[in-house]
A and B are shown apart, each in its own frame.
Chain A
């Protein structure tokens, strides 16, 4: 997530098709660029692969959430039924664990699902209503509609305004523009 700062955020190239974007992103990544990102109107797995983004932590968070839900509900039920408020229901044992499975199952899913959704949002650094890319004149009209963007960021050691612009131009994009903070 970018820290608020002055100056240039990066240089962004707009492509017409996902194929061109993937080609450019792959080439830039191979050339040693790391502070870079692609912006697409729908998920383009190849673009993520091209910039070296292969795995993410959402499944791990989901697993941890699910286990938390499971443990929380099963222990609550056990504690309530055996210690806090034992009830004699048709002479069944107070620790009647088969009956506890269903709420436990539901809470496992509840916690896992909430962890997946909110974990994804948090890992993405959202909500972040401001982002320098929104300053690019063509970004908001195309990024979530029908255009494909490659952004090379100023924080990368390879970055140099003129050189980077020329480099991106070599992929024949629709346009290359500078993005200010």
Chain B
């Protein structure tokens, strides 16, 4: 990618842009390999890793308990009932899927835009996507009531002679989410094949050589292979980009296609996608900040990355703010009694507090502070803001689902919503599951793509002399 540019070398600045470097100076091919591969290949597992893995695993068992009880008793153990027939399951589903979207955005869209700063963070952002989709996918599956019949969602010839109904957004969801999960895993794996080759060649234990050898598929770095690999990566990025936009669009159709005030709006698709990216970048920061600290990756995940992610959050957060504003405006401009009541009730009704939590976490706090460069490069502040935005985006989905449902057209059918302990256990449990899966990834897979980092090093640039010699050969 960047290898065809002939550039002067100036240690202080990145010669391509004149900005401060994406990678700290002083890295060589060898030290990049050593830095990243040795995190995985070291036989010693740190005590901190074990501690966090134990906590994550323990919390994840909550899911097991809650889901077992759910399978025994049915969805009645959740707070869902009339009028709020969709509760935590859909909220958590949308929240987790949204978090996943930043991974695809970083790995695909920023690749297409040749934003090479993404190279240090794309691998673990993709891993985050996959684990988030795992957590997300669980919710609709357990929500269907009889999950052991979940395969009925797919069109397949069966003895009952029935077929799915292709006009339903819920079926579109099945295809969108299953495609998203498949393509994300394939993209992630294809990206790791060359790094698995490096790990295979560096590993000391026979077991590690054997396993990494198998998954590396015999990768040997032939330039012919590399060129096909680059083409395939670019194509996958080009395909993942419309895919990621479509996934949250389709999820927003679950709501927007209904006639309910608060759901029935055309602004939902873009506003859901922007919200997804917003929360996803927040989660990338939540993960990246501790990781770079613990594994001493400050040279590879630099302040430039934190700063850039802050800017992306600022941009997507502003789109989300526009979405909120437009919802309020339309509830007045539509001149619909039901729309106006829904908005008033959302803000000042018995559950109005949730709307103001959302406004504070997503708008009032981040969109006033993220403008300041000093704060964007302040690591602890960015960690704090990432947590706040994650909370805020969860409340956004809570507000959309619950406050649109609990007081609908007929006052006699008004109700309320109070999540049960099983709702909370399932939700908190998925966070443990996510943590445990992510820690396994950090321990056993290369969390930063070595080959992509090497491409960005100054030593990867062909020197002017060599370039001239190539030209002279014609």
Q: Please report which residues of chain A, range 1-35, place their CB below 8 angstroms from some CB of chain B when the two chains form the complex.
A: 17-20, 22-23, 26-27, 30
Contact A99 B167 (CB under 8 A): yes
Contact B462 A146 (CB under 8 A): no
Q: A18-B3, A40-B221 are in contact. Are A102 and B246 (CB under 8 A)?
A: yes
Contact A26 B473 (CB under 8 A): yes
Q: A17-B459, A113-B240, A129-B213 are in contact. Are A106 and B179 (CB under 8 A)?
A: yes
Chain A residue total in the interface (Cβ 8 A): 73
Central interface residue in A53, A76, A96, by most chain B CB within 10 Å:
A53
- Quick check: is A157 within 8 A (CB to CB) of the other chain? no
Contact A140 B201 (CB under 8 A): yes
Once the chains are docked, how many angstroms separate the CA of A38 from the CA of B220? 10
Q: For B224, what are the chain A residues with a Cβ–Cβ distance below 8 Å?
A: 37, 48, 53, 56, 124
- Quick check: is B187 within 8 A (CB to CB) of the other chain? yes
- Quick check: is A161 within 8 A (CB to CB) of the other chain? no
Contact B163 A109 (CB under 8 A): no
Q: For B166, what are the chain A residues with a Cβ–Cβ distance below 8 Å?
A: 77, 80-81, 99-100, 103
Contact A59 B466 (CB under 8 A): no
A32 smallest CB distance to B (angstroms): 13
Once the chains are docked, how many angstroms separate the CA of A128 from the CA of B182? 24
Central interface residue in A50, A81, A121, by most chain B CB within 10 Å:
A121
What residue of chain A has the Cβ atom nearest to residue B195's Cβ? A144
Q: Please report which residues of chain A, range 100-143, place their CB below 8 angstroms from some CB of chain B when the two chains form the complex.
A: 100, 102-103, 105-107, 109-110, 112-114, 116-117, 119-121, 123-124, 126-131, 133-134, 139-141, 143
B106-142 CB mask vs A (1 if < 8 Å, else 0) is 0000000000000000000000000000000000000
- Quick check: is B430 within 8 A (CB to CB) of the other chain? no
- Quick check: is B219 within 8 A (CB to CB) of the other chain? yes
What residue of chain A has the Cβ atom nearest to residue B468's Cβ? A23
Chain A binding surface, main DSSP class: helix
Q: A19-B467, A48-B224, A109-B183 are in contact. Are A43 and B235 (CB under 8 A)?
A: no
Query: Which of B162, B228, B239 has a CB less than 8 Å from the CB of A112?
Result: B239
Query: Which of A51, A96, A114 has a CB less than 8 Å from the CB of B167?
Result: A96
The bracket for how many chain B residues form the interface is 35 or more
Q: For A50, what are the chain B residues with a Cβ–Cβ distance below 8 Å?
A: 470
Contact B466 A17 (CB under 8 A): yes
Q: For A89, what are the chain B residues with a Cβ–Cβ distance below 8 Å?
A: 165, 167
- Quick check: is A47 within 8 A (CB to CB) of the other chain? yes
Q: Please report which residues of chain B, range 271-328, place their CB below 8 angstroms from some CB of chain A when the two chains form the complex.
A: none
Q: Which chain A residues have a beta carbon within 8 Å of chain B's beta carbons?
A: 17-20, 22-23, 26-27, 30, 37-48, 50-51, 53, 56, 58-59, 62, 73, 76-77, 80-81, 84-85, 87, 89, 92, 96, 99-100, 102-103, 105-107, 109-110, 112-114, 116-117, 119-121, 123-124, 126-131, 133-134, 139-141, 143-146
5 A-B pairs with the lowest CB-CB distances in the bound complex, closest first = A19-B466, A146-B29, A120-B232, A127-B217, A85-B163
What are 17 A-B residue pairs whose CB atoms fall within 8 Å in the complex?
Answer: A19-B463, A37-B224, A43-B3, A43-B229, A45-B4, A46-B3, A48-B223, A107-B179, A109-B246, A110-B179, A113-B186, A120-B228, A126-B218, A126-B219, A128-B217, A130-B218, A144-B220
Q: Which chain B residues have a beta carbon within 8 Å of chain A's beta carbons?
A: 1, 3-4, 28-30, 33, 155, 161-167, 171-172, 175-176, 179, 182-183, 186-187, 189-190, 194, 197-198, 201-202, 213-214, 217-232, 235-236, 239-240, 242-243, 246, 250, 253, 450-452, 454-455, 459-460, 462-463, 465-467, 469-470, 473-474
